[in-house]
Structure 1
Amino acid sequence: MIKMLLGLLLPASVLVHGPQQAAAPDVQLPVALGETFDAGHHVTVTPLAIIEDSRCPPDVMCIQAGKLLVAARISELGAVSERTMEEHVPLRLRRGMLTMQANPPPAAGSQDEGQSDADMNNDTSEDGTNKDAASSYRFTFSYAPDIASSQPRANSGA
Structure 2
Amino acid sequence: MEGLRTTAQEIAHIIQQAHICILVGELKQQVVATICCERIQDDELLKAKLGMIAVKPTLQNQGIGKQMIRAAEAHAFDQWSIKAYCMTVITARESLIAFYHRQGYQATGLVKPFPYESDLWQVKVEGLEFAYFEKPISQSTLA
Q: Where on the TM-score scale, by shorter chain, does this alignment land: which range?
A: under 0.3
Normalized against structure 2, the TM-score is what? 0.22
Name the one with the larger helix percent. Answer: 2
Higher Rg of the two aligned structures: 1
Normalized against structure 1, the TM-score is what? 0.21
